């Protein structure tokens, strides 16, 4: 009898020592992009270049879309010429004002003529500053006429085509969607009675096509889902999957307690 107890105790000890986890809880989950961003432009125009397509991987700073900038560039040249001309006008108005003040101090010029010189200087300064503001606005418009990738990622969708007019008078029109596919977010919903199993010692892993991948980090939502089909609190686990994946794919999220 003692020998049998020793065998049983030894078997239980071996299971505890060599088992991968003390317990495991499998939850149905689905994949989401780690970061998904809808891109748009703050200006209106006509699409002249669209060098990317859906499914293409892009680098941060890579050109994604460009508007026709011929009118904007023409305005920039016009405002630069106006600014140069008004710079001379302002300089001359400043010279005339200095001369008028000197004559007024010598009681050679009337106060009315001095005020006219001040008004001329004020008008020249205002016209110069207005033109400089228009030039700055046109330069910003030119800068906003190109759309570049904010981060390394994958082009998920494109809503425009070359030659299409983009009108953003009241609301910015979504042009394309880019997603960060360097890692994925596996999202499951945990009921309140199972939250106690999620502790600091919990280990999370995700199974896709029978292959398990450990999660680098996870986050538990603080608000329960109001969707009847997904009751509970959202639990997100970030994983780096080797095989090509798509958002919405079904996976299994396992919560286990390691020794």
How would residue 5 be classed by pLDDT, with cut points 50, 70 and 90?
very low
pLDDT > 70: what percent of the chain? 90
φ, ψ (nearest 5 deg) of residue 38? -90, 125
- Sorted by sequence, the CB contacts under 8 Å of residue 15 that are 6+ apart come out as none
pTM of the model: 0.72
* Domain 20-37+180-257: CATH class, spelled out: mainly beta
Give the model confidence (pLDDT) of 157-210 as tens digits. 999 999 999 998 778 889 999 999 888 999 999 888 877 777 777 888 999 888
Of 140-149, 157-166, 211-220, the poorest mean pLDDT is in 211-220
Helix (H) or strand (E) holding 26: strand 23-39
Name 248's bridge partners: none
The yes or no reply on domain 70-144 and CATH 3.30.590 is no
Residue 44 makes CB contacts below 8 A (sequence gap 6+) with: 165, 166, 167, 168, 169
CATH topology for 47-68+148-178 is OB fold (Dihydrolipoamide Acetyltransferase, E2P) (2.40.50)
Q: Are 236 and 35 within 8 A, CB to CB?
A: no
User: Per-residue pLDDT tens for 56-68?
Assistant: 999 999 999 999 9
Look over the chain and give the mean of its residue pLDDT values, rounded to a whole number: 86
Distant-in-sequence, close-in-space partners of 130: CB < 8 Å, separation ≥ 6: none
SS3 179: strand
Q: Where are the domains of the chain?
A: 20-37+180-257, 47-68+148-178, 70-144
CA 118 to chain CA centroid, Å, is: 50
Sign for the CA dihedral angle at 82, 84, 87, 93 comes to: negative
């Amino acid at each position: 009898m003692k020998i049998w107890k020793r065998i049983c105790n030894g078997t239980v000890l071996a299971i505890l020592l060599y088992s991968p986890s003390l317990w495991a809880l499998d939850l149905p989950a689905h994949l989401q992009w780690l970061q998904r961003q809808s891109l748009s432009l703050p200006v209106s125009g006509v699409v002249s270049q669209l060098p990317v397509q859906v499914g293409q991987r892009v680098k941060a700073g890579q050109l994604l879309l460009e508007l026709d900038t011929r009118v904007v560039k023409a305005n920039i040249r016009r405002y630069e010429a106006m600014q140069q001309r008004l710079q001379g006008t302002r300089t001359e108005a400043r010279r005339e004002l200095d001369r008028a003040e000197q004559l007024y101090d010598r009681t050679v010029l009337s106060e009315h003529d001095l005020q006219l010189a001040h008004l001329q200087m004020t008008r020249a300064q205002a016209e110069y500053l207005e033109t400089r503001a228009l030039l700055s606005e046109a330069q910003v418009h030119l800068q906003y006429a190109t759309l570049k990738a904010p981060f390394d990622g994958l082009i998920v969708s494109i809503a425009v085509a070359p030659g299409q007019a983009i009108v953003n008078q009241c609301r910015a029109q979504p042009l394309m969607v880019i997603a960060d596919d360097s890692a994925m977010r596996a999202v499951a919903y945990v009921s309140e009675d199972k939250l106690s199993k999620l502790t600091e010692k919990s280990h999370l892993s995700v199974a896709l096509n029978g292959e398990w991948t450990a999660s680098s980090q996870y986050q538990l939502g603080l608000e329960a889902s109001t969707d009847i089909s997904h009751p509970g609190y959202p639990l997100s686990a970030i994983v780096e999957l080797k095989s090509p994946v798509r958002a919405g794919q079904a996976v299994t999220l396992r919560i286990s307690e390691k020794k």
